[in-house]
Amino acid sequence: MDATDGDTPGGVAARLTGRAVTAERRRSVALTEVALDDGRTVMVKRDDEGAVRAEAAGLRWLARAGAVAVPAVRGADRHWLVTDLVAEGRPDARAAERFGRELAALHAAGAPAFGAAPPDGPVEAFIGRAPMRNVPGTDWPGWYAEHRVLPYLRRAVDAGTVRPAEAADVERVCARLPRLAGPPEPPARLHGDLWNGNVLWGADGAVRLIDPAAHGGHRETDLAMLRLFGCPHLETVLAAYDRAAPLAAGWRERVGVHQLFPLLVHAVLFGRSYAEQAVAVAREALAA
């Protein structure tokens, strides 16, 4: 049964979980914590239809890998998503080590193709509030350029956020991607929006990932996003990852290439400062 405009977060939680509601606490316009009569607390999120469908499908796909934990999906309809609430703790080195191993296992679970959407996930998905198309491809450099870098570059140029001369440098990076990309990698099962705000350090010592933009991609892209926006104990995470699933030689030199995608997304959403960062990493890649 679909949500109606008259639904409240508590009413949605009761309808989708089959439990009575004992308390509610609004976290933001879109997020509400709801306590249920069986002792659980769930997070109720309201969003656009496509975003709900993409997030629910992404969480379920990541969960099926049996690697990094994600909040369980307890119910979803056109505009509402109900998931378990994560009890947060403090980051520590032991949790970071475990997270690195689990992230490697998540990526190793694989995907049918670069750009493959999660099962039941839409082609027209989202990364944050920006549209993201999940179009499959077999060649990572060509797919990454066509479906991850250039669409956001064009939008940023159209908005005046990236200047034409700067865009030419990003386009030159795209043309050189077959040389810059390193050894071929199989499609990995990516979280897809792996910045620090989507990494929750649980009170039980386990990391959980939220708000995915899940798709098949290059595993170095998730790692580059972790570095771009900061992550506690990042070097511990990366070292544990590399021990579990060794990264190809030169991966640190390729970080900027993989950061082009999230930087241009942020340029589209948030403006010029991110455009300047994108142009800087593009020029650094060209100079290498």
Q: Mind listing the pLDDT tens digit for each residue in 64-82? A: 999 999 999 999 998 999 9
39: its two tokens: 């002792």
pLDDT tens digits, residue range 155-214? 999 999 999 999 999 999 999 999 999 999 999 999 999 999 999 999 999 999 999 999
Q: How far apart are CA 175 and CA 285, in angstroms?
A: 12
Q: For residue 38, how many other CB atoms are within 10 A of its CB? A: 10
Residues taking part in catalysis: 193
- Kindly report, residue by residue over 217-250, the tens digit of the pLDDT: 999 999 999 999 889 999 999 999 999 999 999 9
User: In angstroms, rounded to a whole number, what is the distance separating the alpha carbons of residues 261 and 221?
Assistant: 9
CA atoms in the 13 A half-sphere facing the CB of 23: 7
| CA atoms of 139 and 270, how far apart (whole Å) | 30
CATH 3.30.200.20 domain span(s) along the chain: 9-84
* pLDDT at residue 229, as a whole number: 86
Q: What is the pLDDT of residues 123-165, one digit of tens each?
A: 999 999 999 999 999 999 999 999 999 999 999 999 999 999 9
Fold designation for 9-84: Phosphorylase Kinase; domain 1 (3.30.200)
Does 2 score more than 80 pLDDT? Answer: no
Q: Where in the chain is the domain with CATH 3.90.1200.10?
A: 93-287
How far, CA to CA in Å, does 216 sit from each of 94, 142, 171, 221? 28, 14, 23, 11
* Residue 6 pLDDT grade (very low, low, confident, very high; cuts 50, 70, 90): low
What lies within 8 Å, CB to CB, of 6 at 6+ separation is none
Fold held by 93-287: Aminoglycoside 3'-phosphotransferase; Chain: A, domain 2 (3.90.1200)
Q: Beta-carbon neighbour count of residue 98 at 10 Å?
A: 18
pLDDT band with cut points at 50, 70 and 90 for residue 1: very low
Distance CA 46, CA 5 (A): 11
User: Looking at residue 3, what is its pLDDT?
Assistant: 44
Q: What is the pTM of this model?
A: 0.95
